[in-house]
Structures are given as structure tokens and as C-alpha cells.
Structure 1
Amino acid sequence: MMIITVGNTKGGVGKTTLAVSLAIARALAGRDVWLIDGDRQGTAQTAISIRAENGVSPGIACATYPDGPTLRSQVQQQASKFDDIIIDAGGRDSTALRAALVLSDVLLVPFAPRSYDVWALGDMAALVDEARSVRDGLRSVAVLNLADPGGNSVDNDEAAAAVADVPQFEYLATPIRRRKAFANATGAGLSVQEMKPMDKKATAELSALEKALF
């Protein structure tokens, strides 16, 4: 069983889209998945509700716990029922994010190719240090999200260099580019793997990220 938190204290970096996409990808691979929405906005829960209303299979178990102590106790009680747990932690330093970090095997930090997103990695690094003082073995990875769809390697190179300056993180060379397919899929409660017609580039990017994480 693996617990992954998709988190960043910076908002607008595409955390929910990645969390929903990964949860569905794991379910499509035959895993029992629990998606936890740790954000008061409840966007991940909304996406999964739309999926359920449309009768899309496989169904995804989803719960909303924006409160840290509740999130912690529920995960501790229910974790053994699932193969994978994916937690979407809100875009700020919250009790839910802190609780999730102590519970997780992996922290995935998406960041956009903009300087102020890279600076936010420093905030996350401090939270990683704090979590590791309580729990050994937290793997912390950063991935470039919402990257230029033109394949501009300069963005990727600069992102990799920026992450190299933050020793708490491992840089995953599996960027997710800014593609309409991701937003359209999440809005319908789907993964890009399920969209018709399929965006092969988006699907390949998600598959590469999933493989790097799991």
C-alpha cells in the first residue's frame, strides 16, 4: 500500500488535476484507490462526484477531510482497505497538508515554470524537514507541471536546476505540459486515458509520471 500526497503551499500549480488523474490511472490499472480531498474548495471531490453521476467505471472512492486531525485519524483507520491512497492537499500551509506529509510515503510537489513557483519550493522544503523529523523515509519529488506544450527544454532545464538547489527534493524528469486534455478530462471526472478522442501526448506524459512514482 502506498500513500502519495500531491501538495504545494502555492496555489494554481495543478495539484487537483494531477491527484485526480493519478487516482483514476491507478484504478484503471486494477488498484483499489482512495482519493482524499484535503482542500476546503473540494475540487477533487466535485470531479469524482461528476464521474459517479455519469456512471463511469471504475468508480473512485473519495472523501473530503480539510481538517488535519480528521484526515489523520481517518487514514489510520481506513488505510488497510486500499492499495493506493492519493491525498490532494490544498494550496496553502494547512493542518491537512501537515497531517498528510506525516502519513505519506511520497510527496509529489507540482510546480509551474515561473520563478515564484520555484521560490515556493523553499516553503515546502521546511515542511518536508519537519515531517521527516517525525517520520523516516518520506520520498519527496518535484515535477514540472503546466509546462510549455511546445516542448521548450529551456523551461525544463531551468526547473531542474532550481530543484537541484533544494536538497530536500528529487526532480522527476517527467514534465506534464499545459494541455487542454488535462483540464477537460478533470472537469468531466475522467483521466486523459479515458477521453475520446485520446490525446496521445497527454496520456504518455501521465503514464511516465505514474511509472516514476509507483
Structure 2
Amino acid sequence: MIFTVGGIKGGTGKTTISTNLAVWLSQQGADVLLVDADEQESASDFTAWREETKKGQLGYTLVQLNGATVRRQIEQLRPKYDHIVIDTGGRDTASQRAALFVSDIYLIPFAPRSYEIWTLSKVQALLGEIMGGRATPLQVFSFLNKADTRGADNSEATDVLRENEELNFVDYPVINRKAFATAASKGLSVFEMIPLDEKAVSEVDALFGHITGIKK
């Protein structure tokens, strides 16, 4: 299965979702490829820190791919892995578009504090173009990431996302917890931190389980 984590707006925590998903899938015994298709190379930075922390035992393979050639390169790599996770930047890039043509699932995290209604029209326009050029439908999941523990921002963003059926909002919010940043600084997923932040683990576990259909 090929997952692209993307969107139009930056600051929504795409790399956090991508890296945690790659580790989560590898923990299920899968052979996983993590693709850094973001010019900022955040997934590559995460993996460099992980190399030091895990002494080279990454649990997945990392490659950097960019531009329109992502589509062809991913098609060539697909048979070699059980799952491919593609981390794209927070803009409408050639890399993201190319990735979406070969992906099975498109994950779109929205951070309520940076939520702006114009983002939706741009995402919808992108999806419309991609869907028109695919032989099979792309499965889309939108969700709240870096969400508040409580407050009106979450509910307001949720209400707007629910109104847009093509974005297929799923109510599995991931709260903006310190555990994610602490883990990432060491190249670790929240599933690997000691001590565990059980709330963070539970949230991401529930989200990934719903999206993939894999039950631990």
C-alpha cells in the first residue's frame, strides 16, 4: 500500500505523521520504504537522528525523491516493499502531484490553530485534478493533527471538514503533545519513547489502525 501524507498548508505536522506511520507499519513486520519528497528534507533529518539513536537499526528504508519523476520511481520501487510512505511538503508541488497518481491513500492533516478556509478550496482543486487522471479512485482521509486538548478551534475545524465529503474527515484527532517533538529529536516514534506517553500512543494507534485496517 502506498500512502502520501500531504496538503497545501505548512505547519500541520506532516513529517510527524509520516515518520510515525513508517515506524508503526514496520512494527507490524512489514518491509517499509519512507520517501522524503519534501524540499525541507525533514524526514531525512529524522532518519539521520534515528541512525545515531538506533545504531543503524532503522526498521525502514529511506530514499529522497523529488519532482515529476516521483511517479515513475515509485512505480519501480512498489514491488520491493509491503508499504511505501511518502512525505511531501506543505505546498502544491510536482512531487506531491506525482506521488498522488501512484498512491492508494492520501492523508491530509489539518492543524486547527493554523486552519484557514482557503486551504480547502485549494485541496479540493488538487484532488479534482488528480482524480480525473487516475484509473482508480484515491482513498482520502483528513483529520486533526497538532490539535488542542480542548477548545473551540478543534470543533470549528471539525465542523468545516465534515461539510466537505470528498475530504472524508475521520474523527481520530492527534493532540499537540510534547512527546512527539521529544521523540522526533531523537529520531524515534512515540511508540519507542521511554517512558511512553500512553495518550499520544493511543491516539496515533487509533488513527493508523482506522486508516490501514490493521488491528494490533
Q: Same fold per TM (> 0.5)?
A: yes
1:64-83 residue pairs with structure 2 within 5 A? 64-69=64-69, 71-83=70-82
- Aligned residue for 1:160? 158
Aligned length: 210
- Aligned residue for 2:210? 212
Note the aligned Cα RMSD (angstroms): 1.5
The 2-side partners of 1:189 and 1:60 are apart by 12
Gaps of 5+ in 2: none
The 2-side partners of 1:116 and 1:50 are apart by 30
Gaps of 5+ in 1: none
Residue 195 (structure 2) pairs with residue 197 (structure 1): yes
1:133-144 residue pairs with structure 2 within 5 A? 133-135=132-134, 136-144=136-144
Confirm or deny: 8 A CA contact 1:182 1:191 kept in the other structure: yes
1:120-135 residue pairs with structure 2 within 5 A? 120-135=119-134
1:2-17 residue pairs with structure 2 within 5 A? 2-17=1-16
Confirm or deny: 8 A CA contact 1:13 1:112 kept in the other structure: yes
Runs of 4+ in 1 over 6 A off after TM superposition: none
User: Kindly tell me: are residues 104 and 117 of structure 1, through their superposed partners in 2, closer, same or farther at Cα, counting changes over 3 Å?
Assistant: farther
The 2-side partners of 1:17 and 1:7 are apart by 12
Give the partner amino acid of 2:8. Answer: T
The 2-side partners of 1:198 and 1:56 are apart by 22
Return 113-122 or 178-187, whichever deviates more: 113-122
The 2-side partners of 1:124 and 1:161 are apart by 17
User: Kindly tell me: are residues 108 and 190 of structure 1, through their superposed partners in 2, closer, same or farther at Cα, counting changes over 3 Å?
Assistant: same
Give the partner amino acid of 1:15. Answer: K
Superposed CA offset, 1:27-56 (max 9, x none): 111111111011011010111122123316
User: Kindly tell me: are residues 115 and 17 of structure 1, through their superposed partners in 2, closer, same or farther at Cα, counting changes over 3 Å?
Assistant: closer
* Residue aligned with 1:93, SS: coil
Superposed CA offset, 1:79-125 (max 9, x none): 11111111111111100010011111111100111364443122111
* Residue aligned with 2:166, SS: coil
Residue 205 (structure 2) pairs with residue 172 (structure 1): no
Superposed CA offset, 1:145-168 (max 9, x none): 11112x44x444322211123232
Confirm or deny: 8 A CA contact 1:146 1:178 kept in the other structure: yes
- Percent identity between the two aligned chains: 41
